[in-house]
Amino acid sequence: MFGMSLDIGIDLGTANVLVYVKGKGIVLREPSVVAVDRDTNRVLAIGEEARQMIGRTPGNIVAIRPLREGVIADYDITESMLRHFIEKVVGRRFVFRPRIMICIPSGCTMVEQRAVQEAAEQAGARHTQLIEEPLAAALGAGLDIVEPRGSMVVDIGGGTTDIAVISLGGIVTSASLRVAGDRFDEDIIAYVKKEFNMMIGERTAEEIKMRVGAAFVGARNEVMDIRGRDMLSGLPKNVQITTEQAAAAMHESVAKIVSCVKKVLEDTPPELAADVMNCGIVLTGGGAMLYGLDELIRKETDIPTALAEDAMSCVAIGCGMALDSFSKFDGKAKNIKTGH
């Protein structure tokens, strides 16, 4: 059994939930998907098991993603999901309720923040605290955020892109954009529908993004065979998709992220902007792994840009690191909140 008090950091993402336990590191990484029986409203599966069901279930079973664009879209299901993951980590009969640090996108409204906090408390947290994603991402990427020096982090998750310049442990300028990894997938689905008259599912779109996708045309040259349903005949059909096509499909969304990065740079005080020029921009989050995105941002901003080492886990690791300074972030989290 764990010690007296258990501290958990949760990266409650639109696409994945990662749980960090103090002293153990990341102990759980599962998709934020819940399978529900529509007729009885019973939760049938959560996480990876539910993800396997996406697009493959009988009519009465729906695979729901309770978080959309970084915020809770379905409160009860988010709560069941959180409870399931907490129980998985802490054990069924948690004698000591854990203290939990949860990540939220920097553009979250007070109402959205309260929903996250309440869901965690309903799910069994003794005390919940929120930390903004860019802060957690910067911590997890190993940036020294307490120094009076500007660091810039671009965290591209499934639902939101959070961009921030951080100094002295706080966010100086930031922007949150509801365009991220999921939007790339939607772009690809729409493109395939328009170009090939074919329907593909979320999972196929994600595979295209990872295997042949790129942030700009010419970043790489890959080809992939995909299967889907012909919209005219209704029968399965095969087509080939190239990097050029996938990049074209995502072009608009990628451009939005790049221009948002530029905008945050423009709003940054000159001294801190100079720091960012020297130290570079760090990319974190699963969406940041889009092939060539670092190169594109480097080209567009003239600032060295690098993908963090374990981009997918940065936010969760940062959440865990913030646990050590629970009290220190107390004030921070409050300050940040009133900022919106």
Domain range list for the chain: 7-135+315-338, 143-179+254-312, 181-250
Half-sphere exposure of 149 toward its Cβ, with a 13 Å CA cutoff? 11
Does the annotation flag 158 for ligand binding? yes
Residues 245 and 191 sit within 8 Å (Cβ to Cβ): yes
Q: What is the pLDDT of residue 5?
A: 64
Q: What is the pLDDT of residue 87?
A: 87
Mean per-residue pLDDT for 139-147? 91
Report the C-alpha gap between 43 and 50 in whole angstroms: 10
pLDDT-based confidence at residue 184 (cuts at 50, 70, 90) = very high
State the helix-helix crossing angle for 293-301 and 243-266, rounded to 10 degrees.
Answer: 40
pLDDT greater at residue 95 or residue 179: 179
Q: What does residue 270 show for φ and ψ, rounded to 5 degrees?
A: -50, -40
Does the annotation flag 88 for ligand binding? no
Does the annotation flag 120 for ligand binding? no
Does the annotation flag 207 for ligand binding? yes
Mean per-residue pLDDT for 107-129? 88
CATH class of 7-135+315-338: alpha beta
Instruction: Report pTM.
Output: 0.87
Does the annotation flag 16 for ligand binding? yes
In tens, the pLDDT along 152-164 reads: 999 999 889 999 9
Does the annotation flag 208 for ligand binding? yes
Residue 273 Cα to chain centre, angstroms: 26
Mean per-residue pLDDT for 105-118? 87
Fold: same for 7-135+315-338 and 181-250: no
Does the annotation flag 14 for ligand binding? yes
Mean per-residue pLDDT for 24-28? 92
pLDDT greater at residue 67 or residue 233: 233
Does the annotation flag 15 for ligand binding? yes
- Please state which architecture CATH assigns to domain 143-179+254-312: 2-Layer Sandwich (3.30)
In tens, the pLDDT along 59-98 reads: 788 888 888 887 888 888 998 998 899 888 887 666 678 8
Q: What is the pLDDT of residue 331?
A: 41
Does the annotation flag 219 for ligand binding? no
Which of 285, 30, 27, 335 has its CA nearest to residue 137? 285
Cα–Cα separations (whole angstroms), residue 256 to 119, 155, 159 = 32, 14, 14
For the domain spanning 181-250, the CATH number is 3.90.640.10
Report the C-alpha gap between 17 and 5 in whole angstroms: 22
